[in-house]
Structure 1
Amino acid sequence: MSADPSLSDRIAQAFPSLPPQLQAAARFVLEHPDDVALLSMREQARRAGVPPVTMTRLARQLGFADYAAFRDLQATALRRPSHTAEFSHRAGRLQQRKAQSGDGALATQIGWATAEHIAGSHDEAGTAALIAAATLIETARKVYFLGLRSCHAVAFHAQYVHGLFRDNGVLLDGAGDTGFDALRHAGPGDVLVVISVEPYTTAAVERTAYAARLGMEVVAITDSRVSPVAALAQASILVPTDTPSFFHAITPAFAAAETLIALVAARSGEQALNAIRNAEHQLDAFSTYWSRRPQRRKPKA
């Protein structure tokens, strides 16, 4: 589950001004809300990598009388019904019905975790963020897409699908480290769509900060309300990345990007339909996609 909305708001607003140890504690609270409600303060501090007194200092910094009041708020949120909790419940029942082991069990856990993350990022708050982001993109003069390392594929895919119905999209990617040169033509009226999750690529954060200084609006697909790109964004779409695998999950970011671009297309009317038809004709003219065509029979001699 996610942290209580009012608590999340307080942490997000206070985060930039917190000292490093309090930021570490605050990030733990946002990313492990169930642990806040269920574990002792000392155990939470150990897992966050801070002294126990830091958790008390964080609670007071956020306006609570003590850590008990801070913890009670999250415990109340934990007792509320959650749409995403149904997925974990079903995953538990599935594992009970079919006692799996080894590779099969691990694959099942990863699959269910991914499904839960996608559903969670499309809840009421997630949908509102997607709609807000789609509104920014719909009215933009140009839309720049940025994703580096593991997030590059998400940016590429989003720009590719966007390009099927609009010609104002630019992927910030290029040989010889020239990919960011396109930003020299950007400014107010343009939008940067940045995909970045922890560990955040330094260049992605720096380019996003540069875009904000240019007066561009920023749409961030990221994993935390206190991520460095979320702090610069007008619209932040949050996607969980934790997984039983050793590497963070990127599939939820793909799902968010696909939903976002689909919303823009749905708002774009007949112009989008005509553009997609033209794209289909062009792709067909070059036989882009393989198809089984009937072979011509050779004439008899």
Structure 2
Amino acid sequence: MDKQAHDVECNGLIKIIKDNYKMMSKGQKLLAKYTLDNYSKVAFMTASKLGETVGVSESTVVRFANALGYSGYPKFQDALQELIKTKLTTVERVEMSNNDYSTDSLILEKVLKDDIDNIKETLDYLSEDTYEQAVNAIFSARKVYIMGLRSSIYVAKYLGYYLSYILDDVKIIRMDMGEPVEQMIKIGEGDVFISISFPRYSKKTLQVVNFARGRGAKVIAITDSHNAPISKVSDVVVTVKNNMISFIDSLVPAFSVANALVIGVAMREKDDIKSYFNELENIWKEFEIFE
């Protein structure tokens, strides 16, 4: 299943449960009712814990997921997490993650494994063709504008920092420099606007994307879903998995994708890059930048 189909399925999950309710076994109906009433909890419960809570076996839980069209319980759980991602407050996230991170000795291992899983899922869902479209657009742009709000600003700064080594004109949109549209007053055809947005989605991000499109710029969205607000108005959608880790979202895959974009662009400028860094090395040496 590709990422876009996966997103559509997530949005229709509640309807799927309701449509299949009459054909379910008694145990599956108990699971369906509990899920509809407590889907924000079920999204973070193991199959055994859900079965114990409802009063059915773990195998019944797995069959319930299969009956809804999922290859296994983890896929069903992923769909629930996608469903609730934009609806939870930070307080609700903390409350739901208490059980997962209640043992200090397991926190380090679980957080790192969750980040690894997010990177693996990003690789599974992000197509090579989409990646190449993004790289080609960035490489051929007259000017590249990059914006990420809230925690996404750090991904934007990271991407902009390294792209500026390769490209002549890269601008990072910063909230401390005034309204984003004021900083993009000269954006137009031939330019690329890279927008980085993850749940809970900022309304301002969508406003700025629409502004860039209205001026004729090509828009690249780096976001978690084809159903994200900016995805629907972007030319290229680079999907990055960022399942929740406690009350924060994992941005590790976003940084990995940023690395891949930078290296992809750099490989098209290999000779120029080598010359540029040779000159930089001389400057760093002259000004004693490094030990």
TM-score band (shorter)? 0.5 to 0.7
2:36 matches 1:45: yes
Q: Shift in Å at residue 218 of structure 1?
A: 1.0
- Corresponding residue number in structure 2 for 1:75: 70
Q: Shift in Å at residue 174 of structure 1?
A: 5.6
Equivalent AA in structure 2 for residue 270 of structure 1: D
Q: Shift in Å at residue 161 of structure 1?
A: 0.3
Residue correspondence of structure 1 range 29-40 to structure 2 within 5 A? none
Counterpart contact for 1:145–1:155, Cα < 8 Å: yes
Cα distance in structure 2, aligned partners of 1:111 and 1:79: 18
Cα distance in structure 1, aligned partners of 2:238 and 2:265: 15
Residue by residue, what CA displacement relative to the aligned partner does 1:80-127 show, whole Å, maximum 9, x if unpaired? 9xxxxxxxxxxxxxxxxxxx9822201111100101111221236343
Residue correspondence of structure 1 range 148-297 to structure 2 within 5 A? 148-173=149-174, 175-289=176-290, 291=291
Counterpart contact for 2:152–2:196, Cα < 8 Å: yes
Q: Shift in Å at residue 78 of structure 1?
A: 8.1
Counterpart contact for 1:195–1:222, Cα < 8 Å: yes
Equivalent AA in structure 1 for residue 70 of structure 2: A
Counterpart contact for 1:166–1:272, Cα < 8 Å: no
2:120 matches 1:119: yes
Equivalent AA in structure 2 for residue 134 of structure 1: V
Aligned residues: 228
Residues 6 and 174 (structure 1), Cα distance of their counterparts in 2 relative to 1, 3 Å cut: closer
- Corresponding residue number in structure 1 for 2:5: 8
Equivalent AA in structure 1 for residue 37 of structure 2: R
Counterpart contact for 2:4–2:225, Cα < 8 Å: no
Q: Shift in Å at residue 261 of structure 1?
A: 1.1
Cα distance in structure 2, aligned partners of 1:27 and 1:214: 35
Equivalent AA in structure 2 for residue 75 of structure 1: Y
Q: RMSD over aligned Cα, in angstroms?
A: 3.2
- Corresponding residue number in structure 1 for 2:59: none
Q: Shift in Å at residue 154 of structure 1?
A: 0.5
Cα distance in structure 1, aligned partners of 2:221 and 2:175: 21
Cα distance in structure 1, aligned partners of 2:143 and 2:4: 36
Residue segments in structure 1 that go unaligned for 5+ positions in a row:
13-24, 30-37, 50-69, 81-99, 292-301
Q: Shift in Å at residue 273 of structure 1?
A: 2.3
Q: Shift in Å at residue 137 of structure 1?
A: 0.6
Cα distance in structure 1, aligned partners of 2:226 and 2:144: 23
Counterpart contact for 1:191–1:217, Cα < 8 Å: yes
Cα distance in structure 1, aligned partners of 2:7 and 2:199: 21
Residue by residue, what CA displacement relative to the aligned partner does 1:108-156 show, whole Å, maximum 9, x if unpaired? 1110010111122123634332222111111111111101110001100
Residue by residue, what CA displacement relative to the aligned partner does 1:229-248 show, whole Å, maximum 9, x if unpaired? 11121211112222332211
Overall identity of the aligned pairs, in %: 21
Cα distance in structure 2, aligned partners of 1:128 and 1:75: 26
Residues 42 and 132 (structure 1), Cα distance of their counterparts in 2 relative to 1, 3 Å cut: farther
Residues 6 and 126 (structure 1), Cα distance of their counterparts in 2 relative to 1, 3 Å cut: closer
Cα distance in structure 2, aligned partners of 1:75 and 1:281: 58
Cα distance in structure 2, aligned partners of 1:47 and 1:279: 57
Counterpart contact for 1:239–1:253, Cα < 8 Å: yes
Cα distance in structure 2, aligned partners of 1:283 and 1:46: 61
Counterpart contact for 1:165–1:276, Cα < 8 Å: no
Q: Shift in Å at residue 175 of structure 1?
A: 3.4
Equivalent AA in structure 2 for residue 256 of structure 1: V
